[in-house]
A and B are shown apart, each in its own frame.
Chain A
């Protein structure tokens, strides 16, 4: 591989990842602006920025997606403090790894909805584990609620991505 190809690949990686990372940050910020619904428990979130991570995994690569998680965690650190940073990072890494595995299935092909639900669920589980360190095991009483909510939120994010993805990959940045 010539030096030129390496630097071109690196530039591509950087620009594509930066673009999706900024989209993820905007989505995360948008979600913070959304009003709290009365029937929603604390911790139940739509997980809009999961759309960006899923896109990164599907079109870009695992390192890109993990980098986007780190960006999201940094935003949480700046805006909501260290605990939020840990929770965001843990949830992000869990969901990214799970979605990566689900997307790479060769013989068992999952659709977007399955991947979205898996990602949403493990985002919650990753956050729950950090919450467990700060509280006690009674926090796991949340698990059934989070399971059910992740079915809904995972489907919503998957649907959004399904509609958006064919259009986004037409952007010149993703043609190489």
Chain B
């Protein structure tokens, strides 16, 4: 018991290691901010002619899958856990394919000839701003 009381008196208020703890806590705080912004409930919304034809909640996508929209142009959209991309399309300019993958709320891919658009929308609009 005596030795413990002695260490109690010998303990400093603030040491270099405490600084490391503070730094670690700050890092955790910042990382969790980014993690949360990234992992908010995103939905991929597919519109044809402006009307919603498909809504996929990305957090429920465990295995990547593709779906084909528009009979004329066969716009093939691949959905993954973290985003969506158009992998192939029969449209002449292939702008939608070249758009690449979208992963953030507010981003979208548009295929003008097929009148198809894929956009990512956040379920909690009040938390996630639009990051472009």
Contact = CB atoms under 8 A, between A and B. Distances in A.
Q: Do A and B bind each other?
A: yes
Interface of A: 58-59, 105, 108-114, 117-118, 121, 138, 140-141, 143-144, 147-148, 150-151, 158-159, 162, 165-166, 169, 174, 176
Contacts of A108: 17
Contacts of B1: 176
A176 B85 CA distance: 72
A59 B32 CA distance: 35
Contacts of B18: 110-111, 113-114, 117
Contact of B13 (A58, A111, A121, A174): A111
21 contacts: A58-B11, A109-B15, A110-B15, A110-B17, A111-B17, A112-B13, A112-B14, A113-B13, A114-B17, A114-B22, A117-B18, A121-B25, A143-B28, A143-B29, A143-B36, A144-B29, A144-B33, A147-B29, A150-B25, A162-B13, A169-B5
Contacts of A174: 5
B32 to A, nearest CB: 4
Contact of A147 (B25, B124, B127): B25
B5 to A, nearest CB: 6
Interface centre among B18, B28, B124 (most CB of A within 10 A): B18
Interface of B: prevailing SS: helix
Contact of A165 (B8, B15, B20, B29): B8
Contacts of B28: 143, 147
A59 B8 CA distance: 7
Nearest to A141: B36
Interface centre among A109, A114, A118, A141 (most CB of B within 10 A): A114
B65 interface: no
